[in-house]
């Protein structure tokens, strides 16, 4: 499914991120939970060195609101202008009200609409696509798109194959509807979404234990092939070549997958935004967290073409191209 162009562009005008205060490195994870693992073993297989853990009582909504405040401040936009909030999360605060509605209340937004999207690690790309479509259709003028997760609360801390992979955090972007003739080429060019429920069991939350279960080798195999395909799809849809991509901002699941995608695009490592070593896999929060870091430190500059891609439980996968 691909969003189409119109006389309106949805432009990313601000980014923000939030990470909980507690940091747990690999050695601390092994010691705290009595795992037969080591920093060397984890880093070699995943690239992960540490992760952040939400504090007791710290919610998905709390973190999402914090990331949103930073994004709004960077954009210089008051909460009174926000008329849409979309939160991508696999760890909502409650079945209802939605985490997005809770974020709306925390921010003091008094108009518009708010809802959640569940697409696991691909959630931010899905949410970005929905916001892009709604802004182009005139259903909103200023949207907050947030990925926020407390994934460590879904982990079996006795299972070293999964518990070392994930962390908590939130990222957000502010998107505005801008007439195409004044956007100067900026904005979301297209989004490309896919799902295949026949592979859902290779990465899921067990309904009985409510813990993450994963068949790592199968996930890796699907990740490399499906991400390569959707990246080609996104470039072809816009008549672009790999050489046109300024930055790859991938879902931060595994350093090996990130490296493989960088090689496919012919991008040197310094043109791939990588946070997995410090954040671990923050699911739907990983892409907006990486965007926030790379815009805050000045790496991503106005006019540059950014490719985002992700794969997650469902299976779901997707890619988005945006010019900043």
Give me the CATH number covering residue 79. Answer: 3.40.47.10
Q: What is the tally of structural domains in the chain?
A: 1
Read off the tokens for 115. Answer: 């809802």
143: exposed, middle or buried (C-beta count within 10 Å: 0-12, 13-18, 19+)?
buried
E strand map for 19-141: 22-25, 50-53, 84-88, 113-117
Which band of pLDDT confidence, cut at 50, 70 and 90, is reported for residue 216?
confident
The pLDDT tens digits for 63-114 are 999 999 999 999 999 999 999 999 999 999 999 999 999 999 999 999 999 9
- Residues annotated as catalytic are 121, 251, 281
What's the pLDDT at 4? Answer: 41
Rounded Cα distance between 172 and 181, Å, is: 26
Which band of pLDDT confidence, cut at 50, 70 and 90, is reported for residue 5?
very low
Domain that holds residue 94: 1-324
């Amino acid at each position: 499914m691909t969003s189409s162009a119109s006389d309106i562009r949805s432009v990313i005008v601000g980014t923000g991120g939030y990470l909980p205060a507690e940091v747990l490195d690999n050695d601390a994870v092994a010691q705290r939970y009595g795992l037969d693992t080591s920093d060397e073993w984890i880093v070699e297989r995943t690239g992960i060195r540490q992760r952040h853990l939400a504090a007791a009582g710290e919610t998905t909504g709390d973190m999402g609101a914090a990331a949103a405040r930073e994004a709004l401040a960077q954009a210089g936009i008051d909460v009174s202008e926000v008329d849409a909030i979309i939160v991508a999360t696999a760890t909502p605060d409650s079945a209802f009200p939605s985490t997005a509605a809770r974020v709306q209340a925390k921010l003091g937004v008094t108009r518009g609409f708010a809802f959640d999207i569940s697409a696991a690690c691909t959630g931010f790309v899905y949410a970005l696509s929905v916001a892009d479509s709604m802004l182009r259709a005139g259903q909103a003028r200023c949207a907050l798109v947030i990925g926020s997760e407390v994934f460590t609360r879904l982990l079996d801390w006795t299972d070293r194959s999964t518990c070392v992979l994930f962390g908590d955090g939130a990222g957000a972007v502010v998107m505005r509807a801008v007439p195409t003739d004044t956007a100067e080429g900026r904005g979301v060019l297209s989004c490309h979404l896919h799902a295949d429920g026949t592979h859902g069991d290779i990465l899921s939350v067990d309904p009985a234990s409510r813990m993450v279960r994963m068949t790592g080798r199968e996930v890796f195999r699907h990740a490399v092939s499906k991400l390569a395909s959707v990246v080609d799809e996104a470039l072809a849809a816009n008549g672009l070549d790999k050489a046109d991509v300024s930055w790859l901002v991938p879902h931060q699941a595994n350093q090996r997958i990130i490296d493989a995608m960088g090689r496919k695009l012919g991008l040197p490592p310094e043109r791939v935004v990588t946070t997995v070593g410090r954040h671990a896999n923050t699911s739907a929060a990983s892409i907006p967290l990486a965007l926030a870091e790379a815009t805050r430190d000045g790496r991503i500059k106005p006019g540059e073409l950014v490719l985002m891609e992700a794969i997650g439980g469902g299976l779901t996968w997707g890619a988005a191209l945006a010019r900043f």
